[in-house]
Copies of this chain bind each other. A is one copy, B any other.
Amino acid sequence: MAPKKGLLQRLNEGVVIGDGGFVFALEKRGYVKAGPWTPEATVENPEAVRQLHREFLRAGADVMQAFTFYASDDKLSNRGNESSKKYTCRGINDAACHLAREVAEEGNGLVAGGLSQTPTYLSGLGKENTQKEFQRQVDVFVENKVDFLIAEYFEHVEEIEWAIEVCLKSGLPVVASMCIGPEGDLHGIPAGECAVKMAKAGAHVVGINCHFDPFVTLEGLKKMKAALDAASIKVHLIAQPLAYLTPDAHKQGFIDLPEFPFALESRICTRWEMHRYAREAYNLGVRYIGGCCGFEPYHIRAVAEELATERGMLPKASEKHEPWAGGLKMHTKPWVRARATRNYWETLKPSSGRPYCSSMSKPDNWGVTAGDSILKQKTEATSEAEISQLRTKAKTVNGV
């Protein structure tokens, strides 16, 4: 059997489909705690992590991203989190790599080791300390022979440049993806410039993940593409947006929305919105197309179905999903069978069932970023008194 093709070869030859975000999916399944969002489930409940990998593989994902999000030592022990003490950074990352590899081998999947932004950077502790956090994770990824590295979910281009620098030493392909929108990074650096900086730092694939919905994310990618073209830089593009609609989010994305993270349901994209996302991303030239928070396996399946012609195949899970609602032909009710057409679903504007709710929210806009003292992270759990102070500030800032 021929060896698997690597990431860059696949991107050169066609399109690569990413998986969806694990923290939100596993929070709903009962294995991740919203707040810290750390991935100790790789040790505690490996069967749940394995099953989610399988579902994404089955849905068409080409990449099994090891569940190492926020698995840096400083995050695992931030604000009362005891995951680091109980399982160690190494233990969690190692288990994650094993699970991803196990499922990847069930198909033709690649394994990626992932880094994300650190409390160390946010607290202003400098390049050396920040890179140490990255290095500890990369060491485990290299030992586990992952296929490539992905630095993702960075709000500041400075920090991701430091991450790229660490990653490149591994010799593996490096994907770099920031959680920014069309307005750029939290220090005010435009999206296009962020892309150029990541590429110049050596990343092989650059782009955007998380924080904004598919369509806002693609607006950001348009700016990145324009800036890369203007600088005559050739790299691949990656898009891994939210599955939550965020037309009303400002610079800091869905975290600012009042519904984050426990009342986002009504913003969840339909599969048909994912068809549109996949097509628009592809047309823009993006070749690594996946998802982040909110993506469930059926969202990735919709991406894979939209790109079935380009990829020359349907995903395994399409056995249970005929294109464009064809399965409804088998429904018992005739008026539901009448919906078994593409046009019906493409033009439908879904209602919310929420007559007391509006369509847009006013986001929190605290306007603070790395370097601001209120963003200093710490090991101790947050007290009630501190929460109460924050509530007061929230009322002041939002004027309510």
Contact = CB atoms under 8 A, between A and B. Distances in A.
A36 B330 contact: yes
A360 B245 CA distance: 15
Given A382-B329, A387-B340, A245 B30 contact: no
A300 B334 CA distance: 32
Given A262-B271, A337-B386, A387-B341, A354 B348 contact: no
A266 B266 contact: yes
A67 to B, nearest CB: 14
Given A330-B79, A336-B260, A359-B359, A352 B349 contact: no
Contacts of A350: 258-259, 263-267, 354, 357, 361
A51 B30 CA distance: 12
A80 to B, nearest CB: 6
Interface stretch (A11-19, A159-167, A219-227, A392-400): A392-400
A386 B336 CA distance: 12
A333 B368 CA distance: 9
Given A262-B270, A265-B270, A358-B356, A297 B338 contact: no
A345 B262 contact: yes
B355 A78 contact: no
A387 B29 contact: no
B29 A55 contact: yes
A330 B260 contact: no
Given A338-B387, A345-B263, A350-B265, A30 B48 contact: no
A298 B25 CA distance: 10
A282 interface: no
Contact of A247 (B31, B301, B355): B355
Copies in the assembly, this chain: 4
Contact of A119 (B29, B78, B332): B332
A94 interface: no
Nearest to A329: B382
Contact of A320 (B32, B81, B338, B359): B32
A256 B334 CA distance: 11
B353 A245 contact: yes
A353 B348 contact: no
A362 interface: yes
A332 B122 contact: yes
Contact of A337 (B47, B265, B345, B382): B382
Chain B CB within 10 Å, residue with most, of A353, A359, A381: A353
A358 B245 CA distance: 15
A28 to B, nearest CB: 5
Nearest to A320: B33
Chain B CB within 10 Å, residue with most, of A33, A272, A332, A390: A332
A321 interface: yes
Contacts of A356: 349, 358, 360-362
B348 A263 contact: yes
Contacts of A269: 265
Interface in A252-293: 255-272
Interface in A216-264: 244-248, 255-264
Given A259-B348, A352-B358, 18 more contacts: A35-B330, A79-B330, A247-B355, A248-B353, A258-B339, A260-B339, A265-B269, A265-B350, A266-B267, A267-B353, A268-B268, A329-B381, A335-B366, A335-B390, A337-B382, A339-B394, A340-B382, A358-B359
Q: Which 7 A-B pairs have the closest CB atoms?
A: A30-B317, A35-B327, A245-B353, A338-B390, A355-B360, A265-B268, A351-B361
Interface of A: 27-36, 47-48, 51, 54-55, 58-59, 78-81, 119, 122, 213, 244-248, 255-272, 296-298, 301, 316-317, 319-322, 325-341, 345, 347-362, 364, 366, 368, 374-375, 377, 381-382, 386-387, 390-391, 393-394, 397, 400
